[in-house]
Amino acid sequence: METAVKKQYMLNYFDTLRMLQKKQKALEGEATSAKITDAERAEAAAAFLDLASKISGFKDAHEALMQKFTSVGVEPPGEALVTKTQQLEDQLGAAIATQNEHSALLKSVTSLVSEWASISPETVGRVAAGAPAHGGGQQGDLAPAAKISHLAFIGEA
C-alpha cells in the first residue's frame, strides 16, 4: 500500500477496533453489575463473549487483508480501500451508538467483518464504485437487524 493510504487504513482499522473494544468493555460492566437482574446480566455476558469472538474475526480479517495487499506483484488498492473501510467504520459506529439489542449489534459487526474480509485485489474496483466487495447485497448492509433478544439469537430462549 502507498504510505499515506496505508496510514489512513491503519487509523480506520485501529479506530474500529477501539470502538468494538469499548463496546465490549461496556458489556462486561453490564455483566458484572449488581444493579440489574441475573437474566440481564446473563444476556450481557453472552453478548460480551459473542463480541469477543467477533473482534477476533475482525482482527483475522485485517491480517488477511494486509496479506492480500502486501504480496509481491499485487497492485496496492489506493483510496478505494480506505474509503470503503471508512464507510464500514462509520456504519458500525452508527449501529453501536443506536443499537440497544445485542443481536442487532452482533449482526452489524458480522456484516462489517464479512465485508472487510471479502475485500481483495480483485474486488477493489467494485469497492471503488460503492458496491459491496462480495458482489451481493446493497450498500448499507450494516442496517440494524430485527429486534430480537440476544438469548433467542444464540438459541437459549
Check if the beta carbon of residue 142 is closer than 8 Å to that of residue 97.
no
Euclidean distance between CA atoms 41 and 32, whole angstroms:
7
Range of the domain at 92: 3-153
Residue 100 CA to its chain's centroid (Å): 17
Strand locations in the chain (E): none
- In this structure, the number of other CB atoms found within 10 A of the CB of residue 34 comes to 5
Query: pLDDT tens-digit profile of 32-45?
Result: 999 999 999 999 99
Instruction: Read off the C-alpha cell for 27.
Output: 458489556
84 phi and psi angles, rounded to 5 deg: -65, -45
Instruction: Read off the C-alpha cell for 20.
Output: 468494538
Query: pLDDT tens-digit profile of 12-32?
Result: 889 889 988 999 999 999 999
pLDDT at 130 over 60: no
Euclidean distance between CA atoms 129 and 83, whole angstroms:
10
Query: pLDDT tens-digit profile of 139-150?
Result: 333 333 322 233
Structural domain count of the chain: 1
Please give the model's pTM, rounded to 2 decimal places: 0.67
